[in-house]
Amino acid sequence: MISTAITLTHLTGILRGTVTLPASKSESNRAQIINALSGAASTLDNLSEANDTTVITNLLQSTANELNAEDAGTVMRFMTAYLAVTDQHKVITGTPRMLQRPIGVLVDALRQLGAQIDYLGQDGYPPLRFKGIDRSQKYPATLKVRGDISSQYISALLMVAPLFPQGLTLELQGKVGSRPYIQMTLSLMKHFGVEGTFNNNTITIPAQSYRANHYTIESDWSGASYWYSMVALAKDASVELKGLRPKSFQGDSVIATIMEHLGVRTTYVANEVVLTKTGTVEPFRFDFTDCPDLAQTVAVVAAAKNVALEMTGLESLRIKETDRIAALQQELQKIGGDLEDLGEGLFRVKPATSINNNPVFHTYEDHRMAMAFAPVALLTPITIEEPGVVRKSYPRFWQDLEQLGFAIKPLEK
């Protein structure tokens, strides 16, 4: 999708069909780092086609002295830990927005473990230069790490933890965000032979070696969330989503529970789910601490369906691809809604009072903004600016919409 904008419409508002979802980039990127740490002997099937996964694949194979993580937060964080512990002398950088996203918590932790890392710009932010490991001192086997920052820092440290001579214990301080992503990391590590414990807020990984194994990446529950929102906003719908497991490593599988409040029923059949409308909606409150990537999707649906929704756990949205709270506030106003900041971490979705004819949604270089607002096309024709941002996690998104009856017209400015 190379146009600068697209118009998106759906003539009937009725959805019928089957969607083969992209594979999870969260699982793919973790599995690739673990595979590299174990000697690249594992067989990984159904790797994600997302640009983030393509980037990490290329960087792990690159012999260049400077690596570009582009706009991929997981790539920047995971590669930072990987480069540090594998004693490489390289530089890692990214897009201008990536250079504004903090990484100081991870760098500080790695420095305590002997990694020699320099900031090439502003302290606490990429780009970074790696100068190997200082092995002349004895380093701590226990680190205190804030739990209220990105779980990607914690996952990055966990994946390299078994390589340290004493292993590593992380004591997570304060409220722990995105806990399911940490559990996903530990589950994948266990699949590849590394055991650990997670009791209360303490994670202990003894020194040990990864073992080669086979793993098939599950489809992406984050990508599935957009189909849940489309079913919620459709006049009638029955949509089959391929490749999802009822017992998933992915925290975003909680979308099935959330969308019960917004009129969507989930039925598990073999290796897929079937989504249908129930017609029942109800006001609710939800804590997105463990699934922040679902917040935009759910906020848009709640506003469009005039469902009273209170949201907490949105703190990490400020440091994503864009400030997602500010972006939501701006774009929801185009359908007569808003995201009201009530203070002390509580937000309330203001229901849409009137949807303007052909609202134009800006995407802020954020794939999730594009996909969260796309379902509004079931209610009125819309325009999405910079639709190519979906390449980050769901490159086939627009093609999949066309297969289920959406009409897409490229526009050029």
Domains and CATH numbers, the chain: 5-22+219-411 (3.65.10.10), 25-214 (3.65.10.10)
User: Which neighbouring-strand residues pair with 267?
Assistant: 274
Predicted local distance difference test score (pLDDT) of residue 356: 74
Q: Provide the pLDDT for residue 248.
A: 92
What does the pLDDT read at residue 1? Answer: 47
What is the chain's pLDDT, residue by residue, as a tens digit (413 residues)? Answer: 457 999 999 999 999 999 999 999 999 999 999 999 998 789 999 999 999 999 999 999 999 999 999 999 999 999 999 999 999 999 999 999 899 999 999 999 999 999 999 999 999 999 999 999 988 888 889 999 998 888 899 999 999 999 999 999 999 998 887 889 999 999 999 999 999 999 989 999 999 999 999 999 999 999 999 999 999 999 999 999 999 998 899 999 999 999 999 999 999 998 899 999 998 899 999 999 999 999 999 999 999 999 999 999 998 888 777 899 999 999 999 999 999 999 999 999 998 877 777 899 999 999 999 999 999 999 999 999 999 999 988 999 999 999 999 999 998 65
290 included as an active-site residue: no
Q: How far apart are CA 376 and CA 379, in angstroms?
A: 5
**Distance separating alpha carbons of residues 252 and 178, to the nearest angstrom:** 10
Task: Check if the beta carbon of residue 175 is closer than 8 Å to that of residue 213.
Answer: no
The 10s digit of each residue's pLDDT in 47-72 is 999 999 999 999 999 999 999 999 99
- Per the CB < 8 A criterion, the answer to whether 105 and 153 are in contact is yes
Question: What confidence score (pLDDT) does residue 241 get?
Answer: 97
Q: What is the pLDDT of residue 353?
A: 77
Helix axis angle, 51-61 to 73-85, nearest 10°: 20
Number of neighbours of residue 50 by Cβ within 10 angstroms = 26
pLDDT at 192: 97
Nearest to 306, CA basis, from 266, 354, 345: 354
Task: List the binding residues for phosphoenolpyruvate.
Answer: 25, 73, 101, 152, 324, 368, 392
* Catalytic member of 71, 220, 290, 293: 293
Strand duo 168-173 + 197-199: pairing: unpaired
What residues does 171 pair with on adjacent strands? 144, 202
